[in-house]
């Protein structure tokens, strides 16, 4: 019955796409036999979805004068709708290709597209008082829980698309390595910047409860420059993105932390991710340059 239901969903999606007069290039992307365009489209959908998740962190800001935490409803609605659109595209792709995929990867896809952040934001919006602050922390945990499966999916699809025979897009021959490495390097900085912002807000709210009996550690800049109180989206986004990229590039060497356990785990995560990125990005670039040198010698 489950297989029949998936087949019905796939047929419905095919019928919807068939009724739309798409250009041939776009039809190839959705076509179930065109494996390589599918994989590259799935890669970019996964990247977009992963880059959208930290935007949920920025829907909160602090009013230190009134000692309260506020929610940007307009930004929340916008992020939820865009994430819903991207997840809908994922569902269409899964329905087209589920018959040729292992069940473990279907489950991985399902975990990636679960609307957990959207559900948590709706729960947070209805919460009040200390319950509101507690639910914000659960939003952080749900996004972190989806981050690792999404990263695994991106890397897996990239390796498969790169090895595909006669690939019409991607691979070393068309220079996809450089933009992919750039995005993969940018992605952790964006995620860490968003987490740093939300964790700084958590530190402020904890300070309200405990009358500031401890330091702010690595979150001092977010408070000193008023980032956690910023109501405009773009200034705090780019400030936190800058913090994330600088911290990732320096392997968190310039951070002065406190004795807080969660804060130190966060720094350790940044350091380990920075090391992995160094091996991944520099290794891929070296292979790309070797391939380019080989092609020049063949000419």
Question: What pLDDT was estimated at residue 173?
Answer: 45
Least confident range from 35-49, 94-108, 164-178: namely 164-178
Average pLDDT, the chain: 77
Instruction: Choose from 96-110, 111-125, 189-203, 213-227 the range with maximum mean pLDDT.
Output: 189-203
Alpha helices in the chain (DSSP H): 2-19, 24-30, 35-52, 73-97, 103-113, 116-126, 130-163, 177-210, 220-224, 233-249, 261-298
Residue with more model confidence, 97 or 70: 70
Q: Are the C-beta atoms of 86 and 52 separated by less than 8 Å? A: yes
The residue length of the chain stands at 299
Quick one: which H or E segment has residue 60?
A: strand 60-63
In three-state secondary structure terms, 63 is strand
Question: Ramachandran region of residue 226, left (φ > 0), alpha (ψ -120 to 50) or beta?
Answer: left
Q: Are the C-beta atoms of 143 and 56 separated by less than 8 Å? A: yes
- What are the residue boundaries of the structural domains of the chain, listed by start? 1-165, 177-299
Question: What pLDDT was estimated at residue 79?
Answer: 92
Residue 44 pLDDT greater than 50, yes or no: yes
List pLDDT tens digits, range 157-205.
777 766 655 444 444 444 456 677 778 888 889 999 999 999 999 888 8
CB neighbour list of residue 47: distance below 8 Å, 6 or more residues apart: 154, 183, 187
> 66: which 2 tokens?
């009134």
Using 50, 70 and 90 to split pLDDT, how confident is the model at 80?
Answer: very high
What are the beta bridge partners of residue 71?
60
Three-class HEC string of 204-246 = HHHHHHHCCCCCCHHHHHHHHCCHHHCCCHHHHHHHHHHHHHH
> 64: which 2 tokens?
């230190």
List pLDDT tens digits, range 23-32.
555 454 444 4
| CB atoms inside a 10 Å sphere around CB 39 | 22
Torsion sign, CA atoms 21, 27, 32, 33 = positive
Question: What pLDDT was estimated at residue 168?
Answer: 42
CB neighbour list of residue 48: distance below 8 Å, 6 or more residues apart: 86
Using 50, 70 and 90 to split pLDDT, how confident is the model at 91?
Answer: confident
Question: What pLDDT was estimated at residue 174?
Answer: 45
Question: What pLDDT was estimated at residue 2?
Answer: 47
Q: Are the C-beta atoms of 76 and 125 separated by less than 8 Å? A: yes
List pLDDT tens digits, range 112-148.
888 889 999 988 888 877 788 888 888 999 999 888 8
Using 50, 70 and 90 to split pLDDT, how confident is the model at 208?
Answer: confident
List pLDDT tens digits, range 235-293.
999 999 999 999 988 888 888 877 888 889 999 999 998 888 877 777 766 766 666 66
Instruction: Choose from 6-20, 51-65, 157-171 the range with maximum mean pLDDT.
Output: 51-65
In three-state secondary structure terms, 70 is strand
Cα–Cα distance for residue pair 208/211, rounded to 1 Å: 5
Q: Give the whole-number percent of the chain exceeding pLDDT 90.
A: 19
Q: Is the pTM of this model over 0.85?
A: no
């Amino acid at each position: 019955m489950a297989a029949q239901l998936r087949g019905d969903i796939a047929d419905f999606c095919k019928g919807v796409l068939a009724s739309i007069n798409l250009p041939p290039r776009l039809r190839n992307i959705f076509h179930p036999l065109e494996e390589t365009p599918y994989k590259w489209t799935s890669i970019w959908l996964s990247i977009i979805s992963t880059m959208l998740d930290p935007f949920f962190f920025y829907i909160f800001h602090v009013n230190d004068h009134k000692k309260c935490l506020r929610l940007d409803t307009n930004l929340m609605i916008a992020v939820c709708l865009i994430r819903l659109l991207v997840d809908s595209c994922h569902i269409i792709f899964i329905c087209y290709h589920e018959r040729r995929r292992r069940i473990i990867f279907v489950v991985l896809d399902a975990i990636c597209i679960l609307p957990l952040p959207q559900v948590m934001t709706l729960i947070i919006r209805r919460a009040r008082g200390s319950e509101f602050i507690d639910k914000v922390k659960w939003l952080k945990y749900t996004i972190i829980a989806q981050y690792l499966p999404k990263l695994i999916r991106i890397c897996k699809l990239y390796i498969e698309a790169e090895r595909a025979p006669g690939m019409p897009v991607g691979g070393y021959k068309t220079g996809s390595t450089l933009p992919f490495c750039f995005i993969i390097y940018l992605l952790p900085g964006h995620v860490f910047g968003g987490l740093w912002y939300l964790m700084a807000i958590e530190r402020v709210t904890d300070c309200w409860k405990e009358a500031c009996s401890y330091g702010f550690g690595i979150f001092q800049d977010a408070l000193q420059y008023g980032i956690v109180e910023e109501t405009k989206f773009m200034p705090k986004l780019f400030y936190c993105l800058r913090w994330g990229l600088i911290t990732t590039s320096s392997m968190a060497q310039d951070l002065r932390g406190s004795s807080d356990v969660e804060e130190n785990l966060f720094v350790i995560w940044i350091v380990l991710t920075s090391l992995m990125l160094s091996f991944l990005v520099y290794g891929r670039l070296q292979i790309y340059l070797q391939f380019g040198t080989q092609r020049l010698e063949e000419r």
